[in-house]
Structure formats: C-alpha cells, structure tokens
Amino acid sequence: MEKFIGSIDHNLSPELVAELKARDKETKKRQWANFEEKLEAPNKKEIVEAFKELHSIYDEGLIKWMANLYDPDICVCNELYGKTECEHHPLCGTAGFHYTHSARDNVGYLPVVEAMNSIYDFVESCGLTDYDHVNEWFGKEHGDKMMNFVENLQDPDGFFYHPQWGKNIGIGRRCRDYDRALILLGRYGRKTKYPTMRDAAESGGELLIPDNMKTLEAFKEYLATLDIDHRSYHVGSVLSEQVSTLKTRGPEYCQALLDFLDSHQREDNGIWNEKCDYYGSNGLMKIAGAYTKLGKPVPNPEKAIKAAVAAIMSPENPDTIVTVWNPWVSVKRLLINFEEYYSPELAKKMRDELYKIAPDAIRMTKEKTLKFKHPDGSFSYLQGLATWTMQGAPCGVPRTAEGDMDAAVLGTNSMVWVISDALGVEEKDGVPLYGEYESAVFKNIMDNRKPVRKV
C-alpha cells in the first residue's frame, strides 16, 4: 500500500457539507435553549452568553488535526528504525493514533495508548458520536487493528509497554498505560494476552505487585520519600495514577495513602502548597482526584474550593494549558465530594458562590486558553510548543510549534464539559462542541489516511 508523509483534508461534497452544517445549526439552537433551561443560576443568560464565547474558539481545524494523527497500518520496522523492509514485528499491521504530528512523521515514535484512549473519550462526548455507538462509529476494521495494537503491547508481567520506551519508565507512566489499555480493551470485550495485576489480586498471586507495594511497610517507606509539601502537583499526579493499582492490595494500603495526604494538607489554605497559585491548584486537582477514587472526603472543604476559584480568577500568565483546566476540575471534584461526604447544602452554597463569578471566570478561561491555540486549530500543552514527553517518555520532536493530544482534549472538549458540570448541568443536557458535519470530516479523513512513511 502507498505510504505518505503529512496531513490530508476531507473530500466531502459541497452539497453534503451544506446539508450537514444546516442541520447542525438547528441542533445547536435546541441544545443551547435546553442548557439555559437546566442552569439554575439567577444570572443564567449572562452565563450562557459567556459560555457561547468560549465555544466559539473551537473550530473544525481541531477535528482535521486530530483525525490526521491516525496511522492505519503501523510498521514498527519503519517507524522506530527507519527500515524500508518490514520484518514483521508483532505490532506491524496494527493501527493507532500518535500523540503529535511530529511523532507521526519522524522515525523513533509510535502511536501511544494514552492518545488512543483520549480520542475515544473525545469523539463520544464532543458530538461526533456517543458512548453506545463509538465502536460502530470507528468501524470494525479500524477497531480491530487498534485493539490488536493495544493487545500486543502487553508484557508477560501484566503491564503494557511501548517499544519506543521499553520498561525504562516511571511507575506513574506504567500505571497510566495499564489503566488506559484495560479501558480500551474493555470497550470491545477483549481479553488480555497475559494475566494482569487485577487477576493476580483475585487469585492471591504476588507476581505483578510493584516493588513499592510489596508490603505495607514498603509502601509507607515509599510515601516518606515523596516531597509533597514542595511538589504537590508532581507527587499528587504520581499517587493518583497508582490508586486503582493500590486498591488491589487491600484497604490498609488505601488508608496509609489517606493518612499521608491528610497529614500534609495545610490548615491555612486547604491545599498542599504554600501559595494558592496555579501550581498549588494543580496539586489540589490531582490530590482531590485521589480522594475521589478512594471514596473519602477532602478535608477543609471550603478552604480548598476557595483556593481553586482563586486560581481560575488569577491574572497570572498560564505556562501550561492544564493550569487553565485544572482549577475547574478541582471545583467540580470538590462539589461532588461535598455532595457525597458532607451535605447537599454545602454543595449548593458553594455553587451559588460560583454562579456570581461564572461569566467573568468563563471569559478569563477563554482568553487564557487562546494562548495555547495554533493556526491549524489544535492546542498545545505549552504556549507555542507541544510537550515532547509524557511522564518522562518521549512523545514528539522536542520544541516543536504544534498541537499535542493532551492539550487537544483537556483544553477543548474537557474544558467545556468540566465547566458545565461545575455549573450543575449534566453532560446529557450540555452543548457538545461539534455535530454531524465534523463527525463526517473526522471519519472521512480517517478512512482515507494511508500508512505513514517516516522522515
């Protein structure tokens, strides 16, 4: 099959484009009307107008950029080693999505599980399709080849390793790939090639237990090495990614983690950082996520949510797009936490306070997010540059002015949904970013992509 370098555009007919866009326009009117009806804020009209302004910065360029991350016929021999002849690696002949365009086009990179999982989450919640039909939307051939890619990443130790990274990765990266791979395979009802840690826990096996969880004492010693007081975002991220793995070890391990987190939360501001700045809010988001996964209340709730709101309204220049998204996630997670572990009254009280500042907060979020947008419609993790590592693992050519998959999801679809959730409007009553036209564009490009020929 012919191979090529670069991106392609769709070849939909002008008549079909006009028809789809007309239908989408009418659908959007109904969706916005329903959103306003569900919003319980006294200033709902002003909030809706601000939210429409945020929606306006997302265009079809993002869809084209994302669809062009797809490699329909991977050849590890070419993509990792630049060889012209295929040597039939187990991953050859599979398919997947790259993290950046530079990774797609240059030797040394392969598609990654995290990007693929993000794509599935994106298309089923941004208006291209829905959860019940996402597998059908991708199509059997694409789906089979992508799941073959995921399956063949698994090692006999139960975890999933990418050939371009090998096993020389941190525990956070390993656990992220493990979780995402199982989610993807679960979508198709696929079984893993080898037993997983979950299987080992059910059978009482020890083979797959990470070293830092071999014993309770080992786990406590591991926690004691973490500088959460000064690196709350990094430590919170690493710990949050380990929660699902930790649960297989038993409740005493989860309690040890809770005790560690409780003992380091600051009484003066409710977070794990001296200042209520972006970094402190980022740490709060990760750690609040750990509490949510563990099913426990976040201590000092009102101070914690005030710290998150302060970050949303901060005039500080954001260095990464997650510093724009994370505070909203913190607010959402904390409100859910209040509802479940404190009282509905506390959750309502704090949401009413959020309504007062929501129009200004949404407009500030829009202006901050635009700092990360590229001319092709994509978004990058850094201002002007894509991130080139994920938890230390290379995922793109360093210092390239391009979008990346993390920002393409967190700064767009995830951004609007987390704000909608924080405002008390469920996803089923929200307004998706896209519609039938963009759905057709994505699928048309994906179906017409040819195997990648690396530079």
Whole-number pLDDT of residue 146: 98
Q: Which residue has the tokens 């014993």?
A: 215
Whole-number pLDDT of residue 182: 96
Classified as helix, coil or strand, 372 is coil
Other CB atoms within 10 Å distance of the CB of residue 447: 14
pLDDT per position as a tens digit, 135-179: 999 999 999 999 999 999 999 989 999 999 999 898 889 989 999
pLDDT per position as a tens digit, 248-262: 889 999 999 999 999
**HSE (CB half, 13 Å, CA atoms) of 150?**
28
Whole-number pLDDT of residue 273: 92
Judge contact between 411 and 369, C-beta under 8 A.
yes
Predicted structure pTM score: 0.87
pLDDT per position as a tens digit, 36-63: 999 999 999 999 999 999 999 999 999 9
Tokens standing for 156?
A: 């006999």
**How far apart are the C-alpha atoms of 262 and 242, rounded to whole Å?**
17
**How far apart are the C-alpha atoms of 210 and 197, rounded to whole Å?**
9
**How far apart are the C-alpha atoms of 81 and 192, rounded to whole Å?**
27
Whole-number pLDDT of residue 1: 44
**How far apart are the C-alpha atoms of 115 and 408, rounded to whole Å?**
10
Mean pLDDT of the chain: 93
Exposed e or buried b for every residue in 237-274, given b needs 16+ CB within 10 A? Answer: bbbbbbbebbbbbeeebbebbeebbeebbbeebbbbbe
Judge contact between 152 and 94, C-beta under 8 A.
yes
Judge contact between 319 and 383, C-beta under 8 A.
yes
DSSP-assigned letters across all residues of 73-99:
S--HHHHHH--SS----TTTT--EE-S
Q: Which residue has the tokens 């006294």?
A: 42
Percent of the chain at pLDDT exceeding 70: 96
Consecutive H or E run containing 393 = strand 393-394
Consecutive H or E run containing 67 = helix 60-67
Whole-number pLDDT of residue 124: 94
**How far apart are the C-alpha atoms of 445 and 179, rounded to whole Å?**
29
Q: Which residue has the tokens 């700064």?
A: 411
Tokens standing for 283?
A: 């740490």
Whole-number pLDDT of residue 211: 85
Give the domain ranges of the chain. Answer: 209-371
Q: Which residue has the tokens 């799941």?
A: 147
Say which amino acid occupies 262.
D
Whole-number pLDDT of residue 3: 55
Whole-number pLDDT of residue 264: 96
Whole-number pLDDT of residue 399: 96
Q: What is the 3-state secondary structure (H, E, C) of 260-315?
A: HHHHHCCCCCCCCCCCCCHHHHHHHHHHHHHHHHHCCCCCCHHHHHHHHHHHHCCC
